[in-house]
Amino acid sequence: MSRSLNILVVEPDATRARAISDALQAHGWSDVTVIASTAQLAPILTQQDPDLILIDLANPDRDTLEHLGLMSGAKSRPVAMFVDHTDTAMTQAALAAGVSAYVVNGLDPARVKPVLETAIARFQVIQKMQAELDAAKRALSDRKMIERAKGLLMRARGLSEDEAYNLLRKTAMSQGRKLGDVAAALVTAADLLA
């Protein structure tokens, strides 16, 4: 795991903030910024774009979790959240907000390293699954568009299904474009002319 991470810590208590920062530095993470309030989160994110966010909250509420998820960009970077108390709804809200690690019973500096490593690993797994899901959705969308384009060619030119597909494929290759893009262009043009 890379030690050159830019880590943002949100901790209102100065003593705990120092302990967290010391624990991070003891594990080789020296690029640490500490802020005392989630109100400071948005400007810091804009200025620094941290690789990971560690948030320590005593008693979060559902709105705070959702707001933090949106504001911290939890879907685009690992976020580890430490809380003193929770319930099922809070846990679900944290996960829905994209929090990578949601640790109950507060932050223990001795647990910082394994929790952050777990948050990063979980974030990477989720990112990979999201990329695979997006690719599958694109492939399905392309397939539907190709089917529509084949249908248009079959009706307009009296071609068989194989001939229509081969024409689309040949056009895509000659233009250096993806088959789905050529099919989408044909469907769009047909819609405009209809």
Alpha carbons 163 and 190: distance in angstroms, whole number: 19
Backbone phi, then psi, for 126, in 5-degree steps?
-65, -40
pLDDT at 49: 86
Alpha carbons 67 and 97: distance in angstroms, whole number: 8
What does each C-alpha distance from 170 to 115, 166, 179 come to in angstroms?
A: 52, 6, 9
Per-residue pLDDT tens over the stretch 63-111: 667 666 666 666 788 988 888 888 888 888 888 888 888 888 877 778 8
Alpha carbons 11 and 55: distance in angstroms, whole number: 6
pLDDT at 72: 65
Total H helices, total E strands in the chain: 7, 5
Contacts of 130 (CB under 8 A, 6+ apart): none
142: tokens are: 């392309």
Per-residue pLDDT tens over the stretch 98-157: 888 888 887 777 888 888 999 999 999 988 999 999 999 999 999 999 999 999 999 999
Alpha carbons 53 and 77: distance in angstroms, whole number: 8
pLDDT at 3: 57
Task: Quote the pTM value.
Answer: 0.71
Domains present along the chain, CATH in parentheses: 7-107 (3.40.50.2300), 132-193 (1.10.10.10)
Contacts of 83 (CB under 8 A, 6+ apart): 56, 57, 58, 59, 60, 90, 102, 103, 104, 106
Alpha carbons 153 and 159: distance in angstroms, whole number: 7
Segment 149-176 mean pLDDT: 96
